[in-house]
Structure 1
C-alpha cells in the first residue's frame, strides 16, 4: 500500500534513508591521436562514446560534500487535543522530524524548503544545520496542494543548494538522495531516475513526480534529490511500500515545480490556486452515465453538483454538463480537470469546452482563488 511519510509521534515523521554511498565510476577510455595510417593498415575504430550524458560520473564523495551542508534536520513540535469521556479534553504534545533544503540566502537569513506534511500543525520549529548548530525556524508559508513548505532561519553558516532543471532529467540518469532518516543525521544514498512524470492524485494533483530507486525511508521527507552535478532536481516526498520501509520506489517533487512554489511562498506567504466558484462536485464519466446523459464518449468529467449563486451557473454551466476541455486542452478525467483549475492564474478567464447531449460549445468562466486546503 502507499504510505505518505507523514510526521508521527517523535521519530515517525517523513524520513528517507540508506547507507552512505561514495564511489566512483571511471570515464570511458578515450582514443589518442594517431599518425597517418598506411594504406595497407586497417582503419582505426572510433573511440567509444560515454554512456553518461555530459561525460563520466564525477567522484561521488565530491557531490556529497557539496550537497550535505545544504540539507538540514527539521524538528516540528505542537500539540493535539484528545477527547476523553464525559466531555473532557486532554492536550497531548506532538513532535515530528524530517529534512529540509537551504535554497536561498540573503545576508544571514536563509530559506529552507521542505514538505508540508513534515510541518503539519506545528507551533514550534527548529532546524539542525550541517555544523550541528540548532536554530529556531519561522514558517513562511505552506502549499498543501504541492505538499511543500518554506521556512526562514537566521545563521551565517547557511549554504544554499544549486538549483537544477528537472525537465532535463532522463530515465536511468544517476541521482543522489540526501536527508536525515530516522534522525541519524546526514545520510547519502545513490540510485537512478526510474521514471519521470509519475502522478498520484491521492498525494497531489499538481505534481508530476520523479521516481527513483535511491534508498528512501521515513525521515528523508523534504530532503534533496540531486543530479550528477550536485544540482537540486527534486524534493523527496513519499514512498510506495508494503512494509513501511524502503522498497526501491521513492518519489520526489520536481525542482521546477518546487522552485516556483518556493518563490510564491516567499513573496506572498501562500500559493494562489485557482477554482471555479459554484462547481461543488465533479464525477468521472463511465459508460452507463454517458448513456444516461446521451453523450457518445466517456472522455471528460460530469458536473455532478453545483451552486446557483456561483460563477459557473451565471456563465451557463449546468449540472449534468460534461466538461471535455479546459483552455484548449482536452480533459479526460477528474484529475486533469482539478489540475487545470488549480494551476490556472487567479483572476483569469477560463474557456470550458462543454458537451450537453449532442451539442458541444464553449463557456467562459472566471478563475477565483481556491480556499486553503488543510493537511
Structure 2
C-alpha cells in the first residue's frame, strides 16, 4: 500500500506542466502590493518661465561698435516628475525639490486621473525634499515605513512616472545603504537600489514588499541618462524630518553640536572630533578632541558625512544621546542640538526629473 502511494506521488510530481504556466503553488507576484501602493503615487507636471537670450540680427561689427544689447525673451517650459501622498486627510505630498524648483504652476494627477493645482508648502534644496498640498477627497496615502530597518538584499519596488509615460512599477533590491560623497545633495545618506529609475521617476516611491514607503527616488548614476541599475533614494526618515519642519514652520532649522570632525585613522568607522567650540553643546556635554562618535540615538555612525547629515535634518532644540570612544573607553553623553549658524552649500545638479 505504501509503495503504491509513493508511486502515485512520483507520478504527480513528474506530470508535465503546460508551456508558459507555473503550478499555482509556484506563482510569485507582488500585484497585491502594487494595487495597494499605486493610488498613493502621483504624477507631477510643472510649468516654468525661462528667460532666453536671443542675439540681434545685425552685423557683428556694428553690434560691437554701437554696443547693441542682445534681446531676452521669456518662454514657458514644462517637465514631469512624481510624488507620494503621505497624508490623505491634509492632502500632503512628498516629492523632490528639483522636481518643483522654479515652477510657476504645479499640477498633480492621481492614479484615478483626477487633476489638481498644487500648493508648494515648502522646499529644502540642500536635502532635495519638497512638500506639496492639494485639496481633494478620497485620497490614498502610502504608509510610511522605517528606512533605518532596511538591509542590503531587501526587495523593493520603485513607483513613478518615467519619461512621462504614466505610472510604472519596477523591482529590485537594496544594493547599499548610507551612500555619501556623490555630490548630488548638500546632505547625503542615500539608499542605493538596482530597481530601474529613469527621468520622471524623481519624487516617486521606493517601497518594501509589505507596501511601506522607505524612500523617495531621486537620482541615477548613468552616462546615457537612462537606468544602469544604480539608482539612489532619499531615506524616508530624512524626508519625514524635513517634511515635519516645512509643514510646521515653512523652513528648515538645521542643527549642530559645535564640533569639527574627520574620518578616524585606519579606516575605522565613526566620526573623530578634531575641535570643539567653547560653550557649544558638545563642550557642555564633555566631548573632547580625539573622541570618536560611533552612534547617535542608537543609530550607528559610519562616517563624518552621516553624522553631518543626521544633525542637519534634526531640528534645533532636540536632545540626543551620543555614544563615543575615548581611547579604549566607551562613553555616552546627552546633549541638546543648537541651530546651525551657516546654511549648507546648495547644488544645482539635475536628477531624474
Q: TM-score range by the shorter chain?
A: 0.5 to 0.7
Greater RCO between the two (CA within 8 Å, min separation 6)?
1
The yes-or-no answer on 1:184 pairing with 2:165 is yes
| CA 1:158–1:199: 2 relative to 1, 3 Å | same
The yes-or-no answer on 1:63 pairing with 2:33 is yes
The yes-or-no answer on 1:79 pairing with 2:46 is no
- Once the two structures are TM-superposed, the CA of residue 198 in structure 1 deviates from its matched residue by 1.4
1:259 corresponding residue in structure 2: 240
- Once the two structures are TM-superposed, the CA of residue 336 in structure 1 deviates from its matched residue by 5.9
For residue 154 of structure 1, give the secondary structure of its aligned residue in structure 2.
Answer: coil
- Once the two structures are TM-superposed, the CA of residue 181 in structure 1 deviates from its matched residue by 0.3
| CA 1:313–1:228: 2 relative to 1, 3 Å | closer
> Can you list the C-alpha shifts for 1:80-133, whole angstroms capped at 9, x where unaligned?
223455154322222221000000022xx4101000010111121111110111
The yes-or-no answer on 1:122 pairing with 2:103 is yes
For residue 163 of structure 1, give the secondary structure of its aligned residue in structure 2.
Answer: coil
Runs of at least 5 residues in structure 1 that lack an aligned partner in the other structure: 1-22, 29-56, 288-298, 304-311, 316-321, 352-363
For residue 81 of structure 1, give the secondary structure of its aligned residue in structure 2.
Answer: strand
Distance 2:278 2:51 in 1: 40
The yes-or-no answer on 1:101 pairing with 2:84 is yes
> Can you list the C-alpha shifts for 1:320-352, whole angstroms capped at 9, x where unaligned?
xx976698989998746754663464368999x
Distance 1:348 1:227 in 2: 29
| CA 1:96–1:208: 2 relative to 1, 3 Å | same
> Can you list the C-alpha shifts for 1:218-251, whole angstroms capped at 9, x where unaligned?
0100000110101111110111112111101111
Contact 1:25/1:58, CA 8 A, preserved across alignment: no
Distance 1:126 1:191 in 2: 29
The yes-or-no answer on 1:217 pairing with 2:198 is yes
- Once the two structures are TM-superposed, the CA of residue 258 in structure 1 deviates from its matched residue by 1.6
Which residue of 117, 122, 127 maps to 1:146?
127
Stretch of structure 1 that moved more, 330-339 or 83-92: 330-339
| CA 1:81–1:128: 2 relative to 1, 3 Å | same
Distance 2:24 2:236 in 1: 28
TM-score, normalised by the number of residues in structure 2: 0.67
2:184 corresponding residue in structure 1: 203
| CA 1:345–1:188: 2 relative to 1, 3 Å | closer
For residue 117 of structure 1, give the secondary structure of its aligned residue in structure 2.
Answer: helix
Contact 1:199/1:205, CA 8 A, preserved across alignment: no
| CA 1:75–1:370: 2 relative to 1, 3 Å | farther
Q: How many residues end up aligned between the 2 structures?
A: 285
Root-mean-square deviation (CA), in Å?
A: 3.9
Distance 1:25 1:145 in 2: 50
1:5 corresponding residue in structure 2: none
Distance 1:67 1:369 in 2: 40
Runs of at least 5 residues in structure 2 that lack an aligned partner in the other structure: 1-20, 56-68, 266-270, 281-287, 323-335, 349-353
| CA 1:341–1:155: 2 relative to 1, 3 Å | closer
| CA 1:343–1:158: 2 relative to 1, 3 Å | closer
- Once the two structures are TM-superposed, the CA of residue 202 in structure 1 deviates from its matched residue by 1.1
Higher helix share: 2
Contact 2:274/2:290, CA 8 A, preserved across alignment: no
TM-score, normalised by the number of residues in structure 1: 0.64
- Once the two structures are TM-superposed, the CA of residue 370 in structure 1 deviates from its matched residue by 4.0
Distance 2:173 2:303 in 1: 31
For residue 31 of structure 2, give the secondary structure of its aligned residue in structure 1.
Answer: helix
The yes-or-no answer on 1:136 pairing with 2:117 is yes
Distance 1:174 1:24 in 2: 22
Stretch of structure 1 that moved more, 325-334 or 64-73: 325-334
